[in-house]
Each structure stands twice: as structure tokens, then as C-alpha cells.
Amino acid sequence: MIEVRQLRKSFGPQLILEDMDLRIENGESAVIIGRSGGGKSVLLKHIIGLLQPDAGEVFVDGENITHMSERQLLRVRSKFGMVFQGAALFDSMTVAENVAFPLERKHQFTPGEIAKRVAGVLELVDLPGTEKKKPAELSGGMRKRVGLARAIVYEPQILLYDEPTTGLDPIVSDSIDKLIIRVRDHLKVTSIVVTHDMRSARRVGNHVLMLHEKRIYANCTPEKLFASTDPVVRQFVDGVADE
Amino acid sequence: MNFLARTWVGEWLTGLGRLAVLTRDTVASCLTFKASRRDLLYQIYFIGIKSQAVVLVTGAFTGMVLTAQTYFQFHKVKMDTATLAVVGVSMCDELGPVLTALMVAGRVGAAIAAEIGTMRVTEQIDALRTLATHPIDYLVVPRLLASMIALPLLTIESIVLGIGSGYFVGTQLMGIDPTYLYFNMLKYTGDIDVVFGLVKSFVYGGIIALIGCYKGMTCGMGAEGVGRATTEAVVFSSITILITNFFLTLLLQRLYVLFWLS
């Protein structure tokens, strides 16, 4: 379970999140939506401890991670897998080396076991046979799939996706959505997806949180959100610019 | 003006503090042996083997020009055969370690800052952290250890080639008697000069790697940020090497007098 209490974060004079409260239960598939620059990715980075809040607390499975050192956080982060907006693949390594990286750092597996696991997850993300390619040789959608394969290869309990369909064409976006659902059902993980793609939000989540004015403005099922008559929610869902 | 000065001093002190914290964390990580042997070997290859050409050319031509200039002056007072003694002591104590470090700072310090800076702006360092890997263990420690191992070896090469090429210029171009030239070089260049040079190069190796890593890990966003980090890594490590060289020379000389001669 992930719980955020009274979180506040600013960068210089700009306040990004204020008194934010949030609770995501185990096994849930939560989608965080909101306008660009609204603090969605910042919230996600607080959940995994990549950023420290100015005030407030973050709990992961009942453990307060707010004041943990970087070394203490490494243990907590092994529960997480994260897919970055730009995939964040290590460009000096091949696809197989990228995916094998977290396993090799654990020093618990033989090279044979690692190769088998890598082939297995690449199969799961529909990229068999790409082991020897470099990230520069891959398309945007393929890079995100490799990023996902790297995030799930060590079987984490919680998966975080930072705008997984941004910059992709609708067909590739659809395939990524299906992949997120497949991974969620296959690995039985808690998923938190940050997106501003409304189609993706409707399909992937069973729980939608809308960020507005530095706080969670709406917290409901996708059906309720898309049927909402609230003007702020409607404006975002319908994609209408301010006058 | 006051505000500008305060801001500049504040930024400078903050940077110094962060560098000190990075150094402390890196030393702590070194003591727990978290670095991978494969990464360390690759970095030794990158810093040591790939810097050969630049270091050897620098060492050779420095030795040659120093021999020529010393000869021109010594010849006036009929001290031709002492030429290589000056070259030997200078190469071992100062020019070998300092010029090697400056050349490596230009090549390796810039590469380290650019590589780590690019990793930072493309979120690869954040990715490392999410994969339960401490960036200091994976990025800084192998580079620091490799740099501190490679630089003394490169310095030895530079010293040998500098004195060797100086000997060649002295005997073949200036016509100095080879026996006296060699004998005087051995007489005035002691083991302690070589030890001083190696201690200095060990310290400079640490400076180059730490400043390169620090600049990369704290670089600003975008291509401009990486470019600035790269430039600053070279400039700051070069300046730090030159300043450290003065104080290190005094300190080593003092220690030598205190513990060696007494």
C-alpha cells in the first residue's frame, strides 16, 4: 500500500504540490491525470523516493520513506519498477544488457538464469529477438517496451509508469495500453500510471486521480470521471483550452 | 555588486560542500567494495590505455624542449653536462605529474562529465536509482579507483619518455658528452623525486575523477547544461591540480625533511 500525507513540494519559488493526500491499495491500478507541468511526474518521483518532499510524508507498505537515506531507499526501491517517459535506457548497453542489469546487480542469478529471464520478459513485451540491438536502433514504442521489460524482470510488487504513451502514434499507444493491462494481470502488481492521454486513462485504470491546482481534485472510477459534470473535470476530459 | 558577490560566494561554497559530501560517500563506498571488477577494468582501459598517445607525446616533447632550453642557459656557464639532471628532477617532481594530469583532465575529465551529464539529463541516473543501484557505487567509484591507478602509471611513462627524449636531444643534437650527462642525471635525481611525482599523480587522479563525476551529476538540463558541465570539469580540475601542486610540493618536502632525513 502507498500512502502520501500532506505532501508539499516546490522548486525555487514555484509551488508544485500542496497538502496532497493520496492512498493506493495493493493490487490497485491507479491512473494520475492532470495538465502538463501540474506535478504528476513529481508526485510519482516522491512515491519511489527519487525526490524528497519539503513537507509531508510518504509511506510504502506502512514504512515511512520520507527521511530515509539513499542507501536505505535502495531496499525500498527493490519493490518498485519504473517506466520512464523517455524510457531512460542505458545507451551504452544492448537491449539484453539493459534488461539483465537489475538481475546482474543482485548477484543472485547464474548467467543462464539471467539469459532465460531476459528472453522471457522480452517475449512478454512482444520484442523477442531484439537482445543484441542498441537502444539507438529502436523506435519510441520499442524503447518503452524495453523499459517495461527492464522494470518487470525482477518481479517488483509496484509498477510506476511515467507517461507511457506520450509521443507515440495511436496504434502504438494502444499496444502499450494493452501491454500495461497484460503485465498487471500477469504479474498481479500494483500499477500507477501518470498520463494525460484520456483513452489510456479510461482503459488502464480502475481508479483515476485528477491533479488540479497542486492537489488531488478528483478521486473516482474512470466511469464516474468521464460522466462527471464538474466544469474543471469536463474541461480536462474534453480537452478544451481556457478562453 | 555586493549581492552578486554574495551569490557567487554562496554558490561556490555550496558547490564545495556538495563535492565534499560526494567525496565522503565515494570513500565510504570504496571501503565496502561495492564496485564491479568489470566496470573498474573498463575504466582503467578507458583512462589508462586510451590516454597513452596524448601522454606520451606530451612527455616526450616536454623533455625535449626542457633539455634544449636548459642547455642554452647552462652552456653559457659551461655546465652542459648538468642539463639532464635539471630535466630529470623537473620531470619527476613537477612536469611529469602535472602535465600528465592536465592532459588527462582535458581528455578524461571532460569525457566523464559529458557521459554522466548526459545520463542525468536523459534520466538514466534516476533509472539506476529505481533499479536499486546507488549511482556512486556504479558511476563514481570505478572511475575514481581507475583514475587513481592509471594516473601514476601514465606519469611513470611520461617521466621515462621525457628523460629519454631529453637524453637524445642532449647527446645527438646538442653534442653533450653522454656519460657525464647520464651520470649527473642519476646523481641529482633521487628515488624521492620519483616518489613525490607518484604521490602527486595519485592525488591528481582523484581530483580529475571526482570533479568530472561531480560536474556530470550536478549538470544543468539540456545540451547546454552538459556542455557547461564538460567545460567546467576541465577548467576546475586543471585549476585545482595547479593549486594543489603548490601546497602538495610544500607538504611533501616538509614530510621528507621531518621523517626521511631525521
Q: What is the pLDDT of residues B165-214, one digit of tens each?
A: 999 999 999 999 999 999 999 999 989 999 999 999 999 999 999 999 99
- For chain A, the average pLDDT equals 88
ipTM rounded to 2 decimals: 0.89
Q: Calculate mean pLDDT across residues A26-43.
A: 89
Chain B interface, Cβ < 8 Å to A: 119, 122-124, 126-127, 129-134
Residue of higher predicted confidence among B167 and A37: B167
**Has residue B70 been placed in a domain?**
yes
**Has residue B29 been placed in a domain?**
no
Q: Calculate mean pLDDT across residues A138-167.
A: 89
First to last CA, chain A: 40
Q: Which residue among B122, B123, B129 sits closest to A77, beta carbon to beta carbon?
A: B129
Chain B hits for A90, Cβ within 8 Å: 119, 124, 127
Q: Which pLDDT score is estimated for B1?
A: 54
Residue of A nearest to B126 (CA): A50
Per the CB < 8 Å rule, is B126 touching A90?
A: no
Chain B hits for A151, Cβ within 8 Å: 130
Q: Quote the minimal CA–CA distance from A90 to chain B in Å.
A: 6
Percent of chain A with pLDDT over 90: 40
**Has residue B42 been placed in a domain?**
no
Which parts of chain B sit beneath pLDDT 50?
A: none
Hey, what domains does chain A have and what are their CATH numbers? 29-51+70-238 (3.40.50.300)
In sequence order, the 6+-apart residues with CB closer than 8 A to the CB of A158 are A2, A60, A79, A80, A81, A189, A190, A191, A192
Q: Residue B34 gets which letter from DSSP?
A: -
Burial of B246 (0-12, 13-18, 19+ CB in 10 A): exposed
What pTM value is reported for the model? 0.87
The predicted-structure confidence for A79-98, as pLDDT tens digits, reads as follows 999 999 888 999 989 999 99
Residues in chain A: 243
**Has residue B28 been placed in a domain?**
no
Residue of A nearest to B138 (CA): A105
d(CA B87, CA B171): 14
Q: Calculate mean pLDDT across residues A114-131.
A: 89
pLDDT at A228 over 90: no
**Has residue B217 been placed in a domain?**
yes
The predicted-structure confidence for A48-72, as pLDDT tens digits, reads as follows 999 999 999 999 998 999 989 888 9
Q: Which pLDDT score is estimated for B5?
A: 66
In terms of residue numbers, what domain contains B143?
52-248
**Has residue B14 been placed in a domain?**
no
Q: Does A121 touch chain B (CB under 8 A)?
A: no
**Has residue B82 been placed in a domain?**
yes
Chain A hits for B130, Cβ within 8 Å: 48, 50, 77, 80-82, 151
Q: How many domains in chain B?
A: 1
Q: Does A161 touch chain B (CB under 8 A)?
A: no
Chain A, chain B: beta-carbon pairs less than 8 Å apart: 51
Q: Which residue among A48, A89, A90 sits closest to B130, beta carbon to beta carbon?
A: A48
Phi/psi class of residue A218: alpha, beta or left (left: φ > 0; alpha: ψ in -120 to 50)?
Answer: beta
H helix and E strand count, chain A: 9, 10
Q: Does A88 touch chain B (CB under 8 A)?
A: yes
Q: Does A109 touch chain B (CB under 8 A)?
A: no
Helix spans in B48-140 (H)? 52-74, 83-90, 96-104, 110-121, 124-130, 135
Q: Which residue among A74, A81, A88 sits closest to B134, beta carbon to beta carbon?
A: A74
Q: Does A11 touch chain B (CB under 8 A)?
A: no
**Has residue B158 been placed in a domain?**
yes
